[in-house]
Amino acid sequence: MNKGINVSTLVSEFNLTVIGATDNPILYPGSLKKHDKNSILWTKNIDNLNQIQSGYIIVNYEIAPTSMRLGVTYLITEEKARLVYAKIMNKYFDAEDDAFFNYVEEHKRNPKIRISDNCFIGKDVEIGDGTIIHPNVVIHSRTRIGKNCVIKTHVSLGTEGLGLELDKETDEFVKFPQLGGVVLEDNVEIGPCATVRRSALDDTIIMKGTKIGSLVNIGHNCIIGRNCILTCQIVTSGSSVIGDNVFMGVSSIVKNGVNIGNNVTIGQGAVVTKNVPDDVVFVGNPAEDINDYKLWSKVKKRLIDMFGKDI
């Protein structure tokens, strides 16, 4: 991890305007959930800006604060704040520390877990008692696996998500580094060829008792609740949140940033593009409450009968 960045270096290199004190060195990236006087983070809106209690925050000039919060240093940019933050992360923080060094033999010495052949385990990985890891599994750094989990063949845990920001000056994409981790709580099962991508800054989380089928992609920053069943070929896009006791049918998809409530059923092939309340069944593309969907189907059929053609 970086030994410390002087703020004046960033100001000069990225053409930033400073509001507030700059006495503390920058030691690590921060997030809304975790930040302090030595962290640096970014935000895109006023609501998030108002949650920052300390440290350095990169903001676009359009939402620059009208009043200062004691302990916060504002770094104002005319570019996209996310783009500037990505450039800083790529230059000063290593997202792939020891990415190619395999620590699997250390874990195999633990008699309370079972690890099959041809597995890769990165740095700073924790594996709980009773967990079984099948052949050809890849577990990247900063992954924590609870007790009595089952990880099936060809699963990838903690791989990098697809975070990109277009730099208009160069007309090239800048990678937004994924610096967070993955947490699997107790009794989680991950099916063959599934991928759980690490978070950008905090953790991608799969809670206790959830079962995930084959060919599933869990995007970065996602939170999957307790005792969910995600069948197969499911996609939960980045930063989506799934409640407890949710069932997702084959090939269903959740749009990035969408929240699904508790005790919800998502039908086969459904494409969820908006938030879903508790205790409902959503079906279709775009997905709707099944009661609304059935009502519209009846209305549509009646209109076709009346006018003699589809609408």
Catalytic residues: 220
Sheet of 17-19: strand order equals: 17-19, 72-77, 55-60, 39-42, 28-29
The tokens 């998809």 sit on which residue? 253
Virtual CA dihedral for 195, 199, 200, 201, nearest 10 degrees? Answer: -160
Is there a contact between 187 and 148 (Cβ–Cβ < 8 Å)? yes
CA distance readout (Å), 160 to 17, 30, 157: 32, 18, 9
Distance between CA atoms of residues 148 and 300, nearest Å: 50
CA 86, 91, 97, 101 torsion-angle sign? positive
Distance between CA atoms of residues 182 and 187, nearest Å: 15
CA 51, 56, 59, 61 torsion-angle sign? positive
